[in-house]
Amino acid sequence: MAEGFAAFWWQDLRGALAPVPVAVGPCGDRVLLGWAGLSGSIALALYLLGGYHAGFALLNSLGAVQPQWPWELVTVLGDERTVFALALLGSRRNPRLFWALALAAVLGTLFTHSLKPLFDAARPPAVLPADALNLIGAGHRRGSFPSGHSVTAALFLGVWFCFSCNRWLRLGLVILAAEIALSRVVVGVHWPVDVAAGLMGGFLAAWVGTGLSGRWAWGAQPAGHLMLVAAVGLFVVWVTLPASGVSPGAAWLLRGIGLAALAVSLWHYGLSPWWRWRKRRPTAGAG
Share of the chain above pLDDT 70, in %: 93
Assign 281 a pLDDT band (cuts: 50, 70, 90): low
Asked if the model's pLDDT at residue 137 lies above 70, the reply is: yes
**Which whole-number Å values give the CA distances from 53 to 45, 127, 177, 184, 256, in the listed order?**
12, 10, 21, 14, 35
In this prediction, residues 141-159 reach a mean pLDDT of 96
pLDDT at residue 240, rounded to an integer? 92
Q: Give 219-225's long-range contacts (Cβ < 8 A, gap of 24+).
A: 219/98, 219/99, 219/102, 219/103, 220/17, 220/20, 220/95, 220/96, 220/99, 221/17, 222/10, 222/13, 222/14, 222/17, 224/99, 225/13, 225/17, 225/91, 225/95, 225/98, 225/99
From the list 215, 230, 241, the residue with the least C-alpha distance to 24 is 215
In tens, the pLDDT along 263-275 reads 999 999 999 999 9
Task: Write the CATH number of the domain with boundaries 25-281.
Answer: 1.20.144
The per-residue pLDDT of the chain, averaged, comes to 90
283/232 Cα distance (integer angstroms): 36
Domain ranges in the chain? 25-281
Asked if the model's pLDDT at residue 193 lies above 90, the reply is: yes
Residue pair 14/222 in contact (Cβ under 8 Å)? The answer is yes
pLDDT at residue 125, rounded to an integer? 94
Asked if the model's pLDDT at residue 226 lies above 70, the reply is: yes
Assign 20 a pLDDT band (cuts: 50, 70, 90): low
Asked if the model's pLDDT at residue 26 lies above 70, the reply is: no
Assign 166 a pLDDT band (cuts: 50, 70, 90): confident
Phi, psi torsion values for 221, nearest 5 degrees: -105, 155
In this prediction, residues 157-171 reach a mean pLDDT of 91
pLDDT at residue 272, rounded to an integer? 93
Is pLDDT larger for residue 244 or for residue 84? 84
pLDDT at residue 80, rounded to an integer? 95
Asked if the model's pLDDT at residue 146 lies above 90, the reply is: yes
pLDDT at residue 1, rounded to an integer? 44
Is pLDDT larger for residue 140 or for residue 202? 202
In tens, the pLDDT along 52-66 reads 999 999 999 988 887
Assign 67 a pLDDT band (cuts: 50, 70, 90): confident
Assign 27 a pLDDT band (cuts: 50, 70, 90): low
51/278 Cα distance (integer angstroms): 65
The stretches of the chain forming alpha helices (DSSP H) are 2-17, 31-50, 56-60, 69-76, 80-89, 95-119, 124-127, 148-162, 167-186, 192-215, 222-235, 248-266, 272-286
Share of the chain above pLDDT 90, in %: 70
Assign 140 a pLDDT band (cuts: 50, 70, 90): confident
From the list 243, 73, 267, 43, the residue with the least C-alpha distance to 144 is 43
100/225 Cα distance (integer angstroms): 11
